[in-house]
A and B are shown apart, each in its own frame.
Chain A
Amino acid sequence: MLLPAPRILAAELLKVRKRWLPYVLFLVMVIGAAAHIWLLGYANWANENSAFDAFFRNETLRTFVLPHALPALLQSGQFWGSMLVGILTASVVGTEYSWGTARQALLRGQTRSEYLTLKLIGLVMVASVGLLAALGIGILFSLMASALVGEEVGGSISFGAAILMVLRTGYTIIPYGLLAFALTTVSRSTTLGVAGSVIFVVLEAIMIAVLSGIGTAWSETARAFLPSHNVAAILSANRIEGGEFFSLALRGQLLPVSLPDPAVAALVLALYCLVFLAISYAVFQRRDLQ
């Protein structure tokens, strides 16, 4: 029997809305967007003593003036969003264990797969609203900074292309959210879920650097299977106009030509998602809950 899903989703949202953590995480995202536009972008550009030549000054402009600011904002949002969505997921799932409320839901006839699925849908909804709101505030900051600068950077982007960029970026956050979901479901602990997903992000960055440094065939193959390498490939499609870079943000990173095809990268991330989901459902389905 399928339970009344809209009512349960509304209840999921009520639970999250009444907690302080989502608001703190949202604030961190807004601070990140502000730091990107005002510190990394505008403050750098406005520094009269800057040793930047005209090319770099123009590049700096692209980090905070629309439309180029959009992919730049999305890229930094992807990094912070991955970690913060992981923290939100681990907290929401883990506290249901520690408060004993996961049992309570199952006692009312919700099946285990229904429970996990509705929990996931609720999380996707909350995370999407939070990330989009933070992006909206980032765009608002960008418009304000652009007005202060009063310079054009050229380039244009259609509404459809902008939406596609947002969707691409959102897609790259999902594996990290599901990683936290799987870790918390398996460990039944918010702490382990948060720590595990944050450590994974950090370790992965170190591994990417090490594997890139080694530069052999096997190290490149190994790197190709890491999520963040594929994330970079997908985000590389978030470009306005031609050229290899959309902003200074990609300067220190791999050139798009050395990244896998975005479609292939999307498949690799989908595989990660499937593995994390399979682990979560398989463990929760068989677990004794006492």
Chain B
Amino acid sequence: MATADPDVVLRTVGLSKRYRRLLAVQDLSLEVRRGRVYGFLGPNGAGKTTTISIILGLIAPSGGHVEMHGLDTRTHLSEALHRTGAILEGQAYYPDLTAYDNLRVWAALSESVTAARIDEVLELVGLRDRARDKMRTYSQGMKQRLLLAGSLLHDPELIVLDEPTNGLDPAGMREFRNLIRELAKTGKTVFVSSHLLGEVEQMCDDVGIVKEGRLLTEESVSALRRRGEALELRVTDVERAVQVLEALDWVAGVTRADGRLVVDAPLERAADLSRALAEQHIYLHELRRREGSLEEFFLEVTGDAPAGA
């Protein structure tokens, strides 16, 4: 059965995978919409790589199925993969070959890829000058960029990336994030797994949080930020300010954080809040809007400490 919504590029339906006693993936259903960068977030061992391997047809699911580009992969896997690019965790290149020859080998798998296209993707990932060097001489960051180039050769609509920044230094991670954002701007859909909250927050439009093989929630990153929005202030008298603010009926809650007060109230009531405090001779040192963070949301959903916030 194919998906009816043309805007959904990737959908998993009740996916599960059992290894003897271990249920690595449990009834996992998610949707990735066209042109979005979807972060598949979870701690190590949460089942992210297993899920991605099932999506890409490398592992047979114990239950459920996958739809890619509106095609059911149980019957149209090859067709769906021709429109998809992917990087999996770990090595996936020929160390004896140059970067250019590695791309030639991958290019052979798609009829449409020309020599000019190889040059184009090398340029895109910034490896054109080192294209004739053997892969074994490459740094980890360069290898990742080469793998990304390989996944883009056939100009796929969907790009699936499994922990693509693992092993990269901070500069390499930022560079890779920028590349992903650039790709998203060209209309590509990206599905990227990570255990790094900050990375997902900076790179993704949507996030799905997975833990112990189960998808706990799916939400857009902007909605998450809005959900945690609050007013943050520093005042002349913290104790009295708390009493005053808690008495206001439009304030849902007041918490203290490092000498500051975080007020759960509508942002448009900032002026009212200021006036209410001033009337009681409590004055503001600072008042600013505070955005919700993915870290808070992750903690709220999983009840765990985040791995790499």
List the interface of chain A (C-beta within 8 A of B): 1, 3-4, 7-8, 10-11, 14-15, 18-19, 99-101, 103-111, 286, 288-290
**B101–A18 touching, CB < 8 Å:** yes
**Given contacts A8-B109, A100-B88, A14 and B58 within 8 Å (CB-CB):** no
> Is residue B250 contacting chain A, with contact meaning CB distance below 8 A?
no
Classify the interface of chain B: helix, strand, loop or mixed: loop
A-B contact pairs, 6 of them (CB 8 A): A1-B78, A4-B111, A10-B108, A107-B86, A111-B78, A289-B59
**B105–A19 touching, CB < 8 Å:** no
**Given contacts A109-B78, A288-B58, A289-B59, A100 and B108 within 8 Å (CB-CB):** no
Task: Tell me, in angstroms, the Cα distance from A287 to B96 when the chains sit together.
Answer: 27
**B224 to chain A: closest CB distance in Å?**
31
Task: Tell me, in angstroms, the Cα distance from A109 to B154 when the chains sit together.
Answer: 11
**B49–A290 touching, CB < 8 Å:** yes
The 10 closest A-B pairs by CB, nearest first: A11-B108, A109-B81, A108-B109, A100-B92, A7-B108, A109-B82, A288-B59, A289-B58, A11-B105, A104-B92
**B90–A100 touching, CB < 8 Å:** yes
Task: Tell me, in angstroms, the Cα distance from A99 to B88 when the chains sit together.
Answer: 12
Besides A18-B96, A106-B57, A290-B49, 7 other CB < 8 A contacts? Answer: A4-B108, A4-B109, A8-B109, A101-B92, A106-B58, A107-B88, A109-B79
Interface 1/0s, chain B 95-130, versus A by CB < 8 A?
111000100111111110000000000000000000
Task: Tell me, in angstroms, the Cα distance from A1 to B57 when the chains sit together.
Answer: 16
Task: Tell me, in angstroms, the Cα distance from A18 to B109 when the chains sit together.
Answer: 19
Give residues 56-109 of B contacting A (CB, 8 Å).
Answer: 56-60, 77-82, 84, 86, 88, 90-97, 101, 104-109
**A105 to chain B: closest CB distance in Å?**
6
Q: Which residue of A lies closest to B80 (CB)?
A: A109
Which residue in A18, A104, A290 is a CB contact (below 8 Å) of B50? Answer: A290
**A14–B105 touching, CB < 8 Å:** yes
> Is residue B293 contacting chain A, with contact meaning CB distance below 8 A?
no
- Residues of chain A contacted by B93 (CB below 8 angstroms): 99-101, 104
**A290–B58 touching, CB < 8 Å:** yes
**B53–A289 touching, CB < 8 Å:** yes
Q: Which residue of B lies closest to A288 (CB)?
A: B59
Task: Tell me, in angstroms, the Cα distance from A290 to B95 when the chains sit together.
Answer: 20
Which residue in A10, A108, A286, A289 is a CB contact (below 8 Å) of B81? Answer: A108
- Residues of chain A contacted by B84 (CB below 8 angstroms): 107
**B94–A103 touching, CB < 8 Å:** no
**A7–B111 touching, CB < 8 Å:** yes
Q: Which residue of A lies closest to B19 (CB)?
A: A288
